[in-house]
């Protein structure tokens, strides 16, 4: 993502792609539903057979709460580290959203939030 082109739905809704595609991505373990065969796109979203789009909180709950779709918040071991990190909502947003928004802001003027007060009002 370079901040100048539209992004795919699955850039944020990363579990909304086929289980086969999820398996190819390092660190990503969950496709929803588990037998999903198509990725979420603007076209597939129009099809009534496409599973409902899930919110971030369906898999990444606040703090130590239990997410709606998983037994616990996912864990992820960042490259170069040995200890896993719990990807609760705060950690997931800070690692995914902010980094992407900051990268976009280096390419062009963007309204995407990149500092604390943009989201935490």
Express each pLDDT in 4-46 by its tens digit. Answer: 666 777 777 777 777 788 777 766 667 777 777 777 777 877 8
Residues 19, 39: Cα–Cα separation, whole Å: 9
Question: Is the peptide bond prior to 102 cis by the omega test (within 30 degrees of 0)?
Answer: no
Establish if 3 belongs to a structural domain: no
Single pTM value for the model = 0.67
Establish if 18 belongs to a structural domain: yes
The two structure tokens encoding residue 59 = 């898999």
What domain count does the chain have?
1
Q: Using 50, 70 and 90 to split pLDDT, how confident is the model at 66?
A: very high
CB neighbours (10 Å) of residue 116? 10
Domain span including residue 67: 9-119
Establish if 4 belongs to a structural domain: no
Question: Tell me, what's the pLDDT at 6?
Answer: 67
User: Interior CA angle at 78 toward 86 and 59, to 5°?
Assistant: 35
Question: Tell me, what's the pLDDT at 82?
Answer: 93
List 86's β-bridge partners, or say none. 75
């Amino acid at each position: 993502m370079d901040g100048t082109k539209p992004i795919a739905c699955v850039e944020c809704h990363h579990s909304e792609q086929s289980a086969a595609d999820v398996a190819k991505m390092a660190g990503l373990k969950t496709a929803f539903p588990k037998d999903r065969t198509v990725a979420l796109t603007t076209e597939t979203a129009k099809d009534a057979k496409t599973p409902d789009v899930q919110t971030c909180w369906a898999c990444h709950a606040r703090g130590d709460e239990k997410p709606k779709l998983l037994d616990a918040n996912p864990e992820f071991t960042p490259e170069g580290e040995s200890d896993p990190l719990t990807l609760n909502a705060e950690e997931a947003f800070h690692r995914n959203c902010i980094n992407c928004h900051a990268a976009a802001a280096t390419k062009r003027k963007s309204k995407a939030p990149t500092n604390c007060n943009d989201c935490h009002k």
